[in-house]
Chain A
Amino acid sequence: MGKNISITINGKKIEVPQGTTILEAAEKATFHIPTLCYHKDLCVAGNCRVCVVEQVGNQRLLASCATPAEENMNIITNSLKVRNARRHIIQLLLAEHKSDCTKCYKNGNCELQKIAADLRILDQEFTELKTWKAFTVDKHSPSIIKDDSKCIRCQRCVRTCAELQGVNALSVSGKGSKMHISTFMEKSMVDVVCTNCGQCVNHCPTGALVEKNYIEEVWMALADPEKHVVVQTAPAVRVGLGEEMGAKPGTRVTGKMVSALKQLGFDAVLDTDFTADLTIMEEGTELLNRLKMFLANGDKNVKLPLLTSCSPGWIKYLEHMYPEQLDNLSTCKSPQQMFGALAKTYYANAKKIDPESIVSVSIMPCTAKKFEAERPEMHDSGYRDVDYVLTTRELAIMIKQAGIELLQLEDSKYDSLMGDSTGAGVIFGATGGVMEAALRTAYEIVTGREVPFKNLNIEPVRGIEGVRSASVIIENALPGWDFLNGVELKCAIAHGLVNAKNIMDKVKAGEADFHFIEIMACPGGCLGGGGQPIPTNPEIRRKRTEAIYEEDEQMTIRKSHENPEVLKIYKDYLKEPLGEKSHHLLHTKYTPRDRY
C-alpha cells in the first residue's frame, strides 16, 4: 500500500491513497462530477473534458478523471469557471451531435442527454455544425447498428473493443473535424472482425452504437392469429430485466418476466435453461467421449481441450482469430439454437402444431445471438430455427410499450414443454456456470456420486478473475469409466475475449494441458452480455452474479441430468446424447474466417 495523501475538495478535507484520481477522491467525498468518456471498465482517456475541475491557483482546469490527486491540492468542482467550461463543452458536443433525441433509440438512456438535462442546457449557443450529415448509418450487421451522427468521439467503444475484447474491430480514423470511429477500411460492421458481442453497445454513452432491434417484427408476429409464437428466455435475462424497470441491480424477476411475456401475447413462454441442461448432456457426453478416446484408446489425435460453444461472440472470435483451433470447439449448438431446432420439431410434434406457423423468439442478454440465429447452418428444423432474437433491453421496451408494470406483476410459471429448468441451467448466465453445471453432471455420470463440493457449489470455478482454473480428481469411477480413475480433470474458465486470447495463445502453443475450457465473450459471462441493461460496471455485474447463484440455490433440482423434461426428451425423441437425432438437430459446424 502506498501512502495516503490529503486533498481538499470544495472545502472538505479527505485522505485518499496515492494514485487516486481527483474524480475518485471527489466521489469519496460525495461530490458528483459529470463524466462522459470515463468508464469504470476502461482505461482513462481524458478526452471529453466534461469532468474538468478547478485547482485553486491553477489557470487551467484539470480533467478530474485523468489527474491524480496530489498532496494539499485544493479542488473546486463547481466554481463559476468550471460551470462555464462544462456548459461550453456540452454545447460543443451538442453542436456536433445529431440531437434528434425524441426520435433516438437511446432516448431516456443517453448520458449526453442526461448531462444536458442535469445542467439544463436550454439554448444552443453555438451554431450546429451539421457535419453528421456526412455519415451514413451502418445497418448491415444483424446485431449492431453504428450511427456516427450520434457519436461524441469518447472512444469508449474503441477502448472496449481493444481492452475488454482484444478484437480491435473499432478504431479511430481521420483527424480534426474528420476524426471518427471507424472499422477496417471503413467497411461495414458485418464485414469486419467484429464478433457482434455488443460490448461497444453496452459501453456507448449515446445512440451511436445500438442493437439492431426486431421489436416491430415480433409485435407483428404476436398480432398474427395464424402464428404460434413461442418465446425462450435466457438465464441471464431474469437477473437483468428488473434494472430496466428501475429495480436495483441483482433483482430477480423470473416469475414477473414470465407473466409479462404472457401478457404481451406469446403463445408459450419457455425457458432456454431447458436447452442449457440439454447442452450439458450433449457437451458432457462429448467431453467424456473425447477423454475416453484420448485416455483409454490412446488416440493422440483427439482434440483437447474441449472448448465450450455457448457464446456466439466467442465462436465468431475463434473463427476469426484461431481458425486452426475450430476442431477443439464443441460441436454443440448454443442453448438458443438447440431450442430453436427443437421448437419446430419436437415441440411442434408434441403440440401438434404445424412448424410452418411457429414463430420462434428468443430473449437474450446478447447481441451476437442475433447473428447466430442468422447463420445459414441454423436451419436444421427445416425452417429458420430461431426467427427473432430480442435483447433484454428490447424486451424491456416492449413491456413499456405495452404499459405493463413489470415489478407489480404476480409471478407465473413457465409453460411446458421445454419450460423445465434446473439450477445448473440457470448458472449458464454467469462465468464459470457452464463448467460448474458440466462438472455436476459429468462427475456423477462417471462416479455415481455428487460432486465433492458443499451444497453442490463448486466455488473454485466461480469468481470474477478473467482466467480461472480448477481441477477435480476422479476416484472410484463406475465400471466403464475405469480409465478415468486417478485422472485429474483440469478445466479453465475465461470471460471477456481479451482473456480468451490469453488462454488460447497458451492452448495454441501447447502450453495448456486443460481438458475442458469454458469461454464466454462478455465480462462476467452472459449476465454482463452486450444485450443487458445499460449501464454496466463491475459492481453491477457482481450483483447480477449473486442473483444468478441465489436463483440456483432456490431451485429444487440443480443438476442437468435430473431435469424431468430432459429425461423425457431423451426417452421420447432424442434417444441418447450424441445420437442420430441429436447430431442432426443439436450439433453444428464452424466456418474459418479472415482476420480483418
Chain B
Amino acid sequence: MESYHLKRIDFIFKNENDWKDVLSRALASDKQLILNELMESELKGRGGAGFPTGLKWKLTADEKSDEKHIICNADEGEPGTFKDREILTQVPFKVLVGMAICGYVIGALKGFIYLRGEYTFLMPELEKAIKEFEYYCKEINFKFSIKIFLGSGAYICGEETALFESMEGKRGEPRNKPPFPTKNGYLGKPTVVNNVETLAHTYTIFKYGAKQFYDLGVQYSRGTKLFSVSGDTPKAGIYELELGMTLEQFVDDFGDGDTKAVQVGGASGFLVPRKLFSQTIIGFKGKLEGHSLPTGGSMMLFNSSRSMFNVLSNYLYFFHEESCGQCTPCRVGCQVLLNGINEVKKGERSTLYLDKLLQLTETMKQTAKCGLGQSVANSFSSIVENFKEEMIY
C-alpha cells in the first residue's frame, strides 16, 4: 500500500535560517533577471485563481507611478483552508522576503499584510518578525516597510479589490474590473496582491532557481502546492504535494476507504463524486486530459455517512451570509438557491425546480461582479448535478 502515497515535498515549511542571504542576494541582482526567473518557474497564484505571478509582477513593474504597493493577502477565509496560518506561524520570513523582493522588482516601498480578522492571535509573533525584518532592511540600506492590516471578518475582503476598499476604510465591496489592480489598486496605485503561499514559493524559487520548481508538477501546473486536508480522512492536516495528481491518487492516499466525494477548493469550489475521481486532475486549467480543477488548496473529503444535501445547504448558508450583497446575481441568487433546495426537499416545489436553479447558476457564473460571485454557484451545480437524488429524498 505504501506505493499509494503521494510524494511529500518540503519546500515551504523547510526551516531555513538563511532569509538574510536570500534577500541580500536578490537585492543585488538585476530586476529583470528576477522577473525572468519567476516567469520561467511558471508559478501561478496559490490563492486559487492561478494568475501567473511573474506576469502580475511584470505588469505592475511596467506601470509608471510615484507609488506602488505589494500586499500579502492573508485573509484566509475559504472554508476548509488553513495553510496560510501555518506559513505565517512557522516561516514568516519567507513571506516577508517574498514581499520585499516583489517591492524591489516593482518599485514599491511599502508592503502590507492583510490579515484575516480571526487571525489576530498571529499578530504578536508576526509583528516581532516584521520588526526584525525591517531592522535588517535598514542594516543593508534597503528602504522597505511592512504593515499589518487587520481585516474585520468579512469573507469578501479576500477578493483583491474588496480588500483595497477595506484597507482604504470603505465598505469591503469588490470594484469593477477593469481597471485591474496592477494598474489601479490600493489608493489607486499599481498594486500586486499575492497570496501568502505564493510569496513563500517565490522565496524557494529565488533561492534554488526556477528549474527545481518547474521540474515538479505537470504542464500548466508547475511546482508544488499546500493542501489543507479535512473531513472524513484519517490524515487531516496540511500537506505539500506536487500539482497534477488525479483526485483518485489523492483519495487513495488520504481517503478513509469510503470516500464518496471530495469538495475541491472550499465552499466556492467544486464537489467531485467518486466516479469522476480518476479523470479529475488537481491543477490549473490548460490542455490537460480530463477535468482540471484549480484550487486554493482546500480538500474536504466526505464519506458515505454524509448527506450531500446538508453539505450543500451549509455552503449556501455560508454564501447567503458572506456575499457582500452588492450585485444581484450573488446576493439574491444565493438566497434563491438556498431556499430552493429546501423547498424541493420539503416537496413544496417539484424536482424540476432544480433544473431551473441549475440554469440560474449559469447566469450567476456569467454575470456576477467579482470572482467570488462567479464561483458561489459552483458547489450548487456540482452537487446537484451529481447527487440529485440526495436533494430530493
Interface footprint category on A:
35 or more
Q: By the criterion CB–CB under 8 Å, are B366 and A176 in contact?
A: no
Interface size class, chain B: 35 or more
**B366 neighbours in A (Cβ, 8 Å):** 52, 59-61, 81, 85
Please name all residues of chain B whose beta carbon is closer than 8 Å to the beta carbon of A84 when the two chains form the complex.
359, 362-363
B325 near A: Cβ within 8 Å?
yes
Q: Is the CB of A176 within 8 A of B324?
A: yes
Top 8 A-B pairs, shortest CB-CB distance:
A179-B325, A92-B332, A66-B176, A88-B363, A176-B323, A85-B363, A46-B176, A176-B321
- Measured in the bound complex, the distance between the Cα atoms of B332 and A164 in whole Å is 29
With A49-B368, A85-B366, A126-B360: A175-B323 Cβ-Cβ less than 8 Å: yes
What are the residues of chain A within 8 A of B331 when measuring CB–CB? 96, 153, 176-177, 179
Confirm or deny: B248 has a beta carbon within 8 angstroms of a beta carbon on chain A.
no
A93 to B333 CA separation, bound complex (whole angstroms): 9
Contact indicator B334/A89 (Cβ below 8 Å): no
| Alpha-carbon distance between A66 and B335 when the two chains are bound, in angstroms | 25
CB closest residue in chain A, given B333: A92
Q: How far is the CA of A49 from the CA of B328 in the complex (A)?
A: 7
Shortest A78–chain B CB gap in Å is 15
Are the CB atoms of B349 and A89 closer together than 8 Å?
Answer: no
With the chains together, A44 CA to B171 CA distance in Å? Answer: 16
Output the least CB separation between B177 and chain A (Å). 9
Distance in angstroms between the alpha carbons of A44 and B339 in the assembled complex: 31
Q: By the criterion CB–CB under 8 Å, are A178 and B327 in contact? A: no
Q: How many residue pairs bridge A and B at CB < 8 Å?
A: 120
Assembly CA distance A96 to B328 (angstroms): 10
Measured in the bound complex, the distance between the Cα atoms of B334 and A361 in whole Å is 49
Asked if residues A89 and B176 are in contact (CB atoms below 8 Å), the reply is no
Q: State whether A126 touches B340 (Cβ < 8 A).
A: yes
How distant is the Cα of A127 from the Cα of B322 in the complex, in angstroms? Answer: 21
- Which A residues lie within 8 Å of B335 (CB)? 96, 129, 131, 177
B369 near A175 (CB under 8 angstroms)?
no
A92 to B319, CA, bound (A): 16
Q: Is B367 in the interface zone, CB < 8 Å from A? A: yes
The answer to whether the Cβ of A174 comes within 8 Å of any Cβ in the partner chain is yes
A153-B326 contact in complex given A88-B360, A176-B331, C-beta closer than 8 Å: yes
A176 touches B329 (CB 8 A): no
A34-63 vs B: 1/0 string, CB under 8 Å? 000000000011111110100000011101
Q: Is B343 an interface residue (CB 8 A)?
A: yes
Known contacts A52-B367, A85-B366, A176-B334: A47-B178 contact under CB 8 Å: no
Complex A-B: 8 CB contacts under 8 Å: A46-B327, A52-B367, A84-B362, A92-B328, A129-B339, A175-B323, A176-B319, A177-B320
| Bound CA span A176–B171, Å | 13
What is the CB-to-nearest-CB distance from B360 to chain A, in angstroms, rounded to a whole number? 6
B85-129 Cβ-contact flags toward A at 8 Å (1 or 0): 000000000000000000000000000000000000000000000
Residues of B within 8 A of A152 (CB): 328
Docked Cα-Cα span, A125 to B343, in Å, equals 14
In Å, the complex CA distance between A178 and B154 comes to: 13
Given contacts A47-B327, A63-B367, A129-B336, 14 further A-B contacts (CB under 8 A): A49-B369, A59-B366, A63-B176, A84-B362, A88-B360, A93-B332, A96-B335, A126-B336, A126-B357, A127-B340, A127-B349, A176-B321, A176-B323, A177-B320
